[in-house]
Amino acid sequence: MTREEVGELLETQKYKFARTMPWNPHWYTLKETWDDGDLYKYVISWILENGEMRIWGKQKPRRYFDFGIWRYWPMTTDPEESILLNRCKIATCKSKPVMQQQLTIEQQLSDK
């Protein structure tokens, strides 16, 4: 799939507002709401392979994918384990790009 195809697919999914974190406004889609679980796993894999390394707060760096006004990110590095995918508006998203020197050796090696 191309970047545009992945982005357009993400935009057609159902999202819920994460009301437990009002200080960090974002939404999520659940794997179980997708018509095709294998397609969900493919999209998670695609983001993990093609997304930008970013960091939010003191959490570990994750892969993020920007499309349109949205920034998407999975909460796991294993598509088989993933049950939800988050998104926030790019304009209000607080994640920051990660510089290579900010990563541990293990993170740098696993990112190849």
What total of structural domains would you count in the chain? 1
pTM of the model: 0.84
For every residue of the chain, which 3-state class applies, written as one string?
A: CCHHHHHHHHHCCCCEECCCCCCCCCEEEEHHHCCCHHHHHHHHHHHHHHCEEEECCCCCCEEEEEECCEEEEECCCCCCCCCEEEEEECCCCCCEECCHHHCCHHHHHHCC
State which residues form the domain around 15.
3-110
* pLDDT tens digits along 2-56: 999 999 999 999 999 998 877 778 999 999 999 999 999 999 999 999 999 998 8
Where does the pLDDT of residue 103 fall: very low under 50, low under 70, confident under 90, or very high at 90 and above? low
